[in-house]
Amino acid sequence: MLVALALVLGACSGAGAEQDATADPQAAPVDPLGVGLRSGPTVVLGDSFASGEGAGGYLPGASAQLEACHRSDAATAVAAAVAAADAGGATPTASPGLSGGVALNVACSGALTEHLTAESRAGLPAQLDQLGDVVPGAAIVTTGGNDIGFVDLVAQCAVGETSCAGQPELRDATFAAIDELEAELVDAYRAVDAALNTDAARAARDGAVAPVIVVPYPQLLPEVAQTLCLGFDDDELVLAREIVSDLNDAVEAAVAAASGAGRAVYVVDGVEEAFAGRTACSADPLVHWPATPADVIELLQNPDALGRELLHPTAQGYAALADVVVPWSAAEPLAVAQADSAVGAAGAASPVAADDSGDDAPWTATFGGWLRAATMVLALGAVAWIVLSRRRLERGAARRRP
């Protein structure tokens, strides 16, 4: 009977602890990017939307190939904003070679997904190989757009003589490329996770797991044609937006697949509509696009007039993306792998509120803890009762022998 009671109380204590964890918001740590930044800088990986193409102020490179990556500090605004919020608004302490003191930008304009792990056609080392001795606390990744040729496709729609929407072969080829890309994205996200979380890297972070934060793509064009959309018809705008949505769906599916087996891989919600009302063709766009009808006509006559920055975020556009990522991270629960290390590792501060006394509360200082203590006492009592009962039976049997 005591054993049965102990088992029942044990089950109750487990249920009680689970209920407490659900009811208590502090039991579910949040802010994967913020927690990651407490154990090391953020590394920015991917294509032009990751490097900062369009923001200006491009960083000098050790070679012409690196300078062509168009890496801008604006692309690390997310990490800087999270670090500042974590520091109560204070400016993060600068670190040599790190953008804003908190991020290392190794993304490159024009990069394909394979260039995260392989050398580019221009001879640049794989982006993960460019980390050097830096041990990141987190990674921010945007990739996939160049694999399907999205910006080139949209530019072609704008300046082409015939409507892109009326070319079924082009449409089918684009969506087929997105379907094929999903598996490659899964492998890429897992490769980033593996590179950031080697045994040596985790040891350097006192056991903390570095999260991989995947940022999808914003919609760049409006839903319907406007004055400054002279090169597009409504069907082309619908097609362009469908392509972005389908690409983002592939990104989300790839993150879901890559985050298995305890990997801390996340996808940011809300990015697709970050430029709503301020897309290309609007009066105050967050995307590089001609500002007047005359400029649009010039673009149609000379597609190279705006160069590589065409249909890329402005500096304000990157700030708008940061405004989406920061609150998302602040409310996003940690993955199991990251939560275990972040809450338990010495070097990674936990978002769980600390006891003001400065001492860790004993494990019995909770309802669930007391139930577990009672369960242990009852279990020990049951074992002792069984042993004593067996001895009494043995002594009685010995007295009855002739």
Q: What is the DSSP string of 85-130?
A: HHTTTPPPPP-TTSBTTTEEE---TT--GGGGTS--TTSPPPGGGG
pLDDT at 324: 96
The neighbouring-strand residues paired with 103 are 42, 99
Least Cα distance to 142 among 119, 122, 112, 117 occurs for: 112
What's the number of CA atoms in the CB half-sphere (13 Å) around residue 376? 7
Amino acid of residue 108: C
> Would you state the CATH architecture of domain 30-344?
3-Layer(aba) Sandwich (3.40)
In the chain, what are the helix, strand and coil shares in percent, each to the nearest 5? 50, 5, 40
Instruction: Give 71: exposed, middle or buried? Use CB within 10 Å, 0-12, 13-18, 19+.
Output: buried
Integer Rg of the chain from CA: 28
CB contact set of 45 (below 8 Å; sequence gap of 6+): 106, 107, 116, 127, 128, 139, 140, 141, 143, 192
For the chain, the residue count is: 402
User: Which residues sit opposite 30 in a β-bridge?
Assistant: 333
Cβ atoms 188, 143 nearer than 8 A: yes
**Tell me, what DSSP letter sits at residue 182?**
H
180-190 pLDDT per residue, tens:
999 999 999 99
| H or E element at residue 150 | helix 150-159
Per-residue b/e over 352-378, b at no fewer than 16 CB within 10 Å? Answer: eeeeeeeeeeeeeeeebbebbebbeeb
Q: Counting beta carbons within 10 angstroms of the beta carbon of residue 176, is it exposed (0 to 12), middle (13 to 18) or buried (19 or more)?
A: exposed
Which of 79, 72, 80 lies closest to 56, judged by CA?
72
Tens digit of each residue's pLDDT, the chain (402 residues): 333 333 332 334 333 333 333 445 455 799 999 999 999 999 999 999 999 999 999 988 878 888 899 999 888 877 877 777 666 554 444 444 555 458 899 999 999 999 999 999 788 999 999 999 999 999 999 999 999 988 778 877 877 778 888 889 988 999 999 999 999 999 999 999 999 999 999 999 999 999 999 999 999 999 987 777 877 889 999 999 999 999 999 999 999 999 978 899 999 999 999 999 999 988 899 999 877 777 777 766 666 655 788 889 999 999 999 999 999 999 999 998 888 876 654 333 333 233 333 443 333 344 444 445 555 545 555 555 555 555 555 555 544 444
Q: Are 32 and 295 in contact (CB under 8 A)?
A: no
pLDDT at 14: 39
pLDDT of residue 299: 66
Choose among 74, 119, 153, 121: nearest CA to 323: 74
